[in-house]
Structure 1
Amino acid sequence: MRLFSFFFCLLLPLSAHAACEGRDLRLDMTAEQHQQLDEAVSQILFPEGNHWIARKGDTVLHLIGTLHTNDERMGEVIERLSPTLSEADAFYFEITQDQMEAFQKDLEKDFSPVLITSGPTLIDLMGEEDWAVFSAALAERGIPDWMAAKMRPWFLSMMLGLPPCLMTTPDADRGMDKRLSELAEAKGIPQYSLERVEDVMNMFDSHPIEEQVQSLVRLAGALQAGDDHLITMANAYLEEKHAEILQLAKLQGLEASGLTPEEFDAEWKGFEDQLLVQRNANWMEQILDIKDQTIVIAVGAGHLSDEYGLLNQLQQAGYTLTRAPF
């Protein structure tokens, strides 16, 4: 989600010169693993396509699935999309760049929204043995343990999901969202948010902190991402296989977690409900209010597919869907 890239930007060092390098994990999968992945993807509605057009009467919606981290290959995509998207009346993002920057300024003055401001720290809630594992992983991402101990569990799960190489990569946050925002700004097209940063943070904090910590510990192995994960995600994204990204993460997460399939499935459903299902439902309330305009809706590609995906929900609402060039 867009919030991921924002938070890691707060922690980027001033001198960043390295770049992420890795190997596509799909190249080393066994035939059995490929079959498992293919079967999982085959059960998903609208599993592919980063550009879809939804039409209903005089309303035209260009849905663009985005990746929040940078990849130089995106430049060619923007060049191809620019003539079509420049005709839009407005762009809608998860959260606009202006609102993210405004929130960043507020957070620079007061970092408490992502901190545990009272009660026990994560060391107390987690225990020394589990904390040792987490603090080592967070140290690789430039977060000292004394600081991490006071951070909210959902914030740390985000940090663990970012490969350490991103912390020293120039323009790491210049993903498809930011590039599309630059396009809209250059063309003088209005930009709007589908949600507020505060609303997303409140949603993450809706469960008691003890439950958040338990989930964090159970998924410790599954949460951590490395260079290979980033390269795999970027390649699959540019192949327009957004459902494959999520299903691969799910299969690899199960293996890394050490949990039983039933235990992991329960954790995954919780993640899916919070990060995708609830937010999609909230966004749809705004999207369905759009009438007689041509609009670009640019959101993380993972929000497009499956029953709860924006594409299926628009089809159910009477829109005609057409996959378009990306």
Structure 2
Amino acid sequence: MRRFSLVLLALVVLWAPPASGEEKRIYTEGLLWRVESQNAPASYVFGTIHISDRRVQAVVQDMLQTVGPLDSISLEIVQSPATMAAAAQRMFDLQGPPLSQRVGAQLFSQTVAAAAPYGLNATVLERFKPWAVAVTLSLPVSELRAQASGELNSEKLLEAHATSNRIALYGIETIDDQLGLFDGLSEAEQVDMLRLTLQNSRKTGAIFTRLVNAYLAQDLNDFYRVMEEFSVGQESNLQEFFEGQMIAGRNRQMVERIQPRLAEGNALIAVGALHLPDEVGVLRLLEQRGYTISPMPR
């Protein structure tokens, strides 16, 4: 699931409640932040966007030059065959009723048509969980093609940098941490998630273009402008799920888990850019723990 965080970003855009005017948010200007305490050397928090784009690769390379030698790099997930197998186990249901029975004939027919460009046929789709189909179809086909052609995303670049420079590499979360939250949705909520994804599939390309442009401009506040522009703002349960569990809840968990790395110092913490800003963001939570947070020059 190396593309999970980017998919999450697009899903949040679609299901976030529309913003009420221009709000002042904190920690939105910049992707790289210095984290300091009195008890350890400074560390860094970097916001990523998990997409295979050479412009994004350049941002990552520039960041690595800025921070210099590191003692550790922490990513949301460290990729391995085991993590990919765990993701597949979470996304497929080999024992329960087929997807066509879970979502109904009409929605299943729409799903089959939408999934064809992704190389998924009806037989394969029958074993998917409803939320897993929604997650898969929230990623543009163009990104899948880029990955298939060998283009690297931020995580792969950082993993390669850690390996080639003998830097300790850590995972902050597990696949179960991330995808297990989707399994907590009710059957009806999963079906709603799939239905809304299909209804708004034509927006996906435009959303990703805007998000990548905002990322390259290092303007995280523009993420919220995209939310205001594209949000469907329909399903309150899904809104609460994404804002409360997928963002705020994971932010708190990540801040807790990176404490050993920050105590060691000279660490790079790389998480999806959506997790950085606002009052419930990683940077604000670190500030509340007594760390001094300051932006690094672009």
Per the shorter chain, which TM-score range? Answer: 0.7 to 0.9
- Provide closer, same or farther for how the CA distance between residues 6 and 78 of structure 1 changes in structure 2, counting only shifts above 3 A: closer
Aligned residue number for residue 320 of structure 1: 292
Residue 156 of structure 2 is aligned to residue 184 of structure 1? no
Taking structure 1 as the reference length, the TM-score comes to 0.77
Q: Are residue 207 (structure 1) and residue 190 (structure 2) matched?
A: no
Deviation digits for residues 98-118 of structure 1 (CA, Å, limit 9, x no counterpart): xx33323x46xx954321223
Determine the structure 2 residue equivalent to 1:166. Answer: 143
Structure 1, 166-175 or 287-296: larger mean CA deviation: 166-175
Match of 2:14 in 1: none
Specify whether residues 176 and 236 from structure 1 end up closer, same or farther in structure 2 by C-alpha distance, changes over 3 A only.
same
* Identical counterparts, % of pairs: 26
Q: Does 1:239 align with 2:239?
A: no
SS of the residue 2:33 aligns to = strand
Deviations 1:137-175 (A, max 9, x none): 111222112211220122112111111222322456622
Q: Aligned-pair distance for 1:38?
A: 9.6
Which residue in the other structure is 2:35 paired with? Answer: 54
Q: Deviations over 1:48-71 (max 9, x none)?
A: 311111111124221110011111
- Whether contact under 8 Å (1:95, 1:193) holds in the other structure is yes
Unaligned stretches of 5+ residues in structure 1: 8-35, 255-260
For the 8 Å contact 2:3–2:51, the answer to whether it is kept is: no
The structure-2 alpha-carbon separation of the partners of 1:112 and 1:293, relative to structure 1 and needing over 3 Å to count, comes to closer
- SS in structure 2 of the partner of residue 39 of structure 1: coil
- Post-superposition shift, 1:250? 5.3
**How far has the Cα of 1:83 moved from its partner?**
3.2
The structure-2 alpha-carbon separation of the partners of 1:43 and 1:224, relative to structure 1 and needing over 3 Å to count, comes to farther
User: What secondary structure sits across from 1:47 in the alignment?
Assistant: coil
The aligned length equals 285
* 4+ aligned runs moved over 6 Å, structure 1: none
Structure 2: distance between partners of 1:76 and 1:211: 39
TM-score of the superposed pair, with normalisation by structure 2: 0.84
- Asked whether the equivalents of residues 189 and 238 of structure 2 are also in contact (C-alpha less than 8 Å), the reply is no
Q: Distance in 2 between matches of 1:158 and 1:173?
A: 21
Measure, in 1, the Cα distance between the counterparts of 2:61 and 2:274. Answer: 23
Residue 54 of structure 2 is matched in structure 1 by: 72
Q: Please state if 1:102 is matched with 2:100.
A: no
Matched, 1:284 2:251: no
Aligned-partner SS, 1:73: helix
Change (3 A) 1:172 1:314: farther
1:1-326 equivalent positions in 2, closer than 5 A: 2-4=2-4, 39-40=21-22, 42-57=23-38, 58-97=40-79, 100-104=80-84, 106=85, 111-169=88-146, 170-171=148-149, 174-222=152-200, 226-249=204-227, 251-254=229-232, 261=233, 263-289=234-260, 290-326=262-298
CA RMSD, Structure 1 to Structure 2 (Å): 2.8
Whether contact under 8 Å (1:5, 1:69) holds in the other structure is: no
Alpha carbons 1:221, 1:253 under 8 Å: kept? no
**1:208 and 1:188 mapped to 2: Cα distance?**
44
CA distance in 1 between partners of 2:294 and 2:269 (Å): 15
